[in-house]
Each structure stands twice: as structure tokens, then as C-alpha cells.
Copies of this chain bind each other. A is one copy, B any other.
Amino acid sequence: MEIDKIIHEPARLRIMMILSGVDEVDFSFLLSTLEMTKGNLSSHMDRLEQAGYVEIFKNFNGKIPHTVYRLTKTGKTALSKYWKSIDEIRKSI
């Protein structure tokens, strides 16, 4: 089984794991939790969206923009497949 490189990138793996637990999360939360730069986080979220693994919802909190991310079904599946592929490598220990 091939390793999914979209998920394999450590930053994105952590993002996926967080999303898999909470069903909805916003930019600021990820930013402070993962301690990365905004630009970096932003582009990782783009890649995850383009892969179809997350949905991005943009709305306003009053006048302040607010972006919320949610794992898609495709994303959930991909994540569990990812762990299976990791297991496959690891089980040879």
C-alpha cells in the first residue's frame, strides 16, 4: 500500500488528526495549537481542500472574518487508509 503524501506531511497529519477528533475547527485554533506561521497553515489547508480532505467554510463573526474547517468523508477514509499503510510498514518490526 502506498503512503498518501498529502497526509504524510507532519503538519498536515497533525491537522487531520485534530480534525478527526472535533468535527469542526477554526484557523486560530489550529494556529495556536500547532504553532506554525499563518502562511504555512493557510497553504496546508489549501492542499487539504484541493485533495478533497477538508471543507472550508468562510463566514463572518460580526465584522471579523472567520474560517472553519471540517473533515470530509473522503478525508476520513484517506486518514484511516493512511494509518493502515503505516501499520503495513511497521508490522515488519
Task: Identify the A interface with B (CB < 8 A).
Answer: 3, 5, 8, 10, 13-14, 17-18, 20-21, 83, 86, 89-90, 92-93
Q: Contact at B13–A10, with CB atoms within 8 Å? A: no
The one of B3, B10, B17, B89 in contact with A93, judged by C-beta atoms closer than 8 angstroms, is: B17
Whole-angstrom CA separation of A1 from B5 in the bound complex: 21
Measured CB to CB, the closest approach of chain B to A1, in angstroms, equals 11
Measured CB to CB, the closest approach of chain B to A90, in angstroms, equals 7
Q: Contact at B17–A92, with CB atoms within 8 Å? A: yes
Whole-angstrom CA separation of A13 from B83 in the bound complex: 14
Which B residues are in CB contact (< 8 Å) with A3? 10
The one of B17, B89, B90, B92 in contact with A89, judged by C-beta atoms closer than 8 angstroms, is: B17
